[in-house]
Chains A and B, each alone.
Chain A
């Protein structure tokens, strides 16, 4: 189970199957600016991390969030 996808799906209130590897505001109409902030906060909570303020604005897709978490040394599974 991909915890990151599960977290994003919970915020967007969609089935986790709808979160593909290319998931982003472009592919998911519900992923807007407010949901974006909610995703960031939910991911911080789920993985017990805190993103730098300057990183937050770049976390605008599943792949970018995954990449940022990996760079912080977070285990994703």
Chain B
């Protein structure tokens, strides 16, 4: 198949995926957002995927699930191969990357198709993830966590954690119910 034919087929597939999602779920998918493996996606009510976000579901039967009122801002990348859950009212700022896959650091860099490793990610309800932050494989954020812009989040964090830096660490923890 020629490169032209491959690209045309890909464009049609992406348009089809978008159509399948907006016809089945309560979600606004803005122009330019790319959705792959739509069958693995789940949405609550009134979600938004802004322009030029890239949402890659799972080929292996895992689920990429967004709760109610979740906002995926422009330029976000969600890689959900190992399973990804984002709770109600959570907002991902522009350019946030959430990945469930990564390269094995010990693999030979000169070998093509380096095998990837996978770990699921969960982000709780009412979290704010700042511009450009990365949420790494295996990360688990409790409800109401706040992640500063450009932070890199590893590991498990309890609810209401305020995280910043690389690796992101807790800067303070609000009392339950405090703003």
Instruction: Enumerate chain A interface residues (CB-CB to B < 8 A).
Output: 25, 32-35, 37-38, 40-42, 44, 50, 56
Contacts and interface: CB of A to CB of B under 8 A. Distances in A.
Interface SS of B by simple majority: loop
Interface of B: 102, 104-106, 117, 119, 136-138, 154-156, 167, 169
Contacts of A42: 155
A37 B105 CA distance: 12
B155 A33 contact: no
Interface SS of A by simple majority: helix
Contacts of A37: 136, 154-155, 167
10 cross-chain pairs, A with B, having the tightest CB-CB distances, nearest first: A33-B105, A37-B154, A41-B155, A38-B155, A37-B167, A38-B154, A34-B137, A34-B102, A32-B104, A32-B105
Contacts of B138: 34-35, 38
